[in-house]
């Protein structure tokens, strides 16, 4: 596997919200402590699962400052923050602020409104961002989620960015869901590119192809399983049965997307967190759907023994 200062198990963290859709700032560090105590090396806040695009700059800043409180009792817990917007100016501002406050790195969507952007145009966008906002010892991960952004980060773009910014452009969060993409990245870049897989089902596969870890939605619920796979892999083992279990769990929960409302309902059920709301246009999952998901997960657990 590819070892890097950002390597490890990261939850694509949910964002606790009050019933009026405002961020529950007191709950944020408490929730991150829960993740730290359940095997996570760190968390990505304000990503897709964290409803990042739903918040304005002031809300993002407040959420980030609340998240940094985790450092008071978990000083080694790594914090990544989602900073990508279609606006270059706003993305520069969010990214610079995040590094000024002391995050470990940023995960940046490409300008997702511009579906026809060329590789050269995207390179120019990331070049301006890195030059103006990423310190020389800072780390930026591009966010490759083509089904959502419709702006893929192709090999040519990744290669140009890595050649131009070998330290600052650390690599990507790969949420393509494509196992062949992991192989392609491995063959093309080897250990030069940090690849954080976005699918729990592909975690072991990614580690076997120079992956550096994962940033996943289901780490909010199943980070202990991911950590077992991680720790086993360091020792030369593969924890294949745990990976099969995770893959089966993800297969079930893929029928209950989008993830933020489902994860919040399940965290309430399994861990007694408040039933946090989601911000429109997302809607809370119905009680019927929640119970259906719980039943399916319980049935799977029985089948797996």
Provide mean pLDDT across the span 182-191.
94
On the question of pLDDT at 303 being above 90, the answer is: yes
What CATH number has the domain bearing residue 150? 3.20.20.70
Instruction: Give the structural domain span for 12.
Output: 8-239
Provide mean pLDDT across the span 196-212.
97
In a domain, residue 226? The reply is: yes
Model confidence over 103-140: pLDDT tens digits? 999 999 999 999 999 999 999 999 999 999 999 999 99
Distance CA 286, CA 256 (A): 11
Distance CA 120, CA 117 (A): 8
In a domain, residue 2? The reply is: no
Q: In this predicted structure, what is the pLDDT of residue 163? A: 98
Domain total in the chain? 1
Distance CA 216, CA 263 (A): 12
In a domain, residue 164? The reply is: yes
Q: What is the greatest pairwise CA distance in the chain?
A: 53
Both tokens assigned to 273:
């967190």
With CA atoms as reference, report the closest residue to 32 among 46, 20, 22, 19.
46
Q: Which sign does the torsion angle of CA 205, 12, 33, 91 carry? A: positive
DSSP assignment, residue 23?
B
In a domain, residue 279? The reply is: no
Distance CA 194, CA 192 (A): 7
The DSSP H or E segment spanning 196 is strand 194-197
Q: In this predicted structure, what is the pLDDT of residue 124? A: 98
In a domain, residue 247? The reply is: no
Distance CA 190, CA 194 (A): 9
In a domain, residue 246? The reply is: no
Provide mean pLDDT across the span 172-197.
96
What is this structure's pTM? 0.96
In a domain, residue 204? The reply is: yes
In a domain, residue 288? The reply is: no
On the question of pLDDT at 2 being above 80, the answer is: no
Query: Which residues are known to be catalytic?
Result: 48, 113, 143, 173
Mean pLDDT of the chain: 97
The long-range contacts involving 205-212, CB below 8 angstroms and separated by at least 24 positions, are: 205/179, 206/174, 206/182, 207/1, 207/233, 208/1, 209/182, 209/183, 209/185, 210/1, 210/2, 210/185, 210/186, 211/1, 211/2, 211/182, 212/1, 212/2, 212/3, 212/4, 212/6, 212/7, 212/8, 212/171
On the question of pLDDT at 20 being above 90, the answer is: yes
On the question of pLDDT at 305 being above 80, the answer is: no
């Amino acid at each position: 596997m590819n070892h890097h200062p950002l390597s490890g198990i990261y939850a694509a963290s949910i964002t606790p919200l009050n019933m009026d859709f405002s961020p529950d700032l007191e709950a944020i560090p408490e929730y991150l402590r829960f993740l730290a105590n359940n095997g996570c090396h760190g968390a990505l806040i304000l990503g897709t699962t964290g409803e990042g695009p739903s918040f304005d700059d002031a809300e993002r800043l407040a959420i980030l400052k609340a998240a940094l409180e985790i450092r008071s009792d978990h000083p080694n817990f790594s914090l990544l923050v989602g900073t990508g917007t279609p606006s270059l100016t706003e993305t520069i501002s969010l990214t610079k602020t995040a590094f000024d406050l002391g995050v470990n790195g940023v995960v940046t969507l490409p300008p997702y409104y511009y579906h026809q952007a060329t590789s050269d145009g995207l390179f120019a966008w990331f070049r301006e961002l890195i030059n103006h906002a990423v310190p020389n010892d800072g780390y930026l991960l591009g966010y490759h989620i083509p089904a959502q952004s419709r702006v893929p980060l192709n090999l040519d773009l990744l290669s140009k960015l890595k050649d131009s910014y070998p330290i600052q452009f650390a690599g990507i969060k790969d949420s393509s869901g494509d196992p062949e993409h992991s192989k392609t990245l491995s063959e093309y870049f080897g250990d030069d590119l940090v690849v954080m897989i976005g699918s729990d089902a592909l975690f072991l596969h990614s580690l076997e192809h120079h992956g550096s870890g994962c940033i996943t939605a289901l780490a909010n619920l199943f980070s202990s399983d991911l950590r077992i796979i991680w720790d086993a892999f360091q020792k030369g083992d593969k924890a294949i049965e745990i990976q099969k279990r995770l893959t089966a769990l993800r297969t079930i929960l893929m029928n209950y997307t989008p993830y933020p409302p489902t994860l919040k309902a399940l965290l309430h059920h399994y861990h007694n967190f408040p039933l946090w709301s989601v911000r429109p246009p997302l809607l809370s999952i119905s009680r019927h759907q929640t119970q259906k998901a719980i039943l399916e997960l319980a049935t799977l657990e029985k089948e797996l023994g």
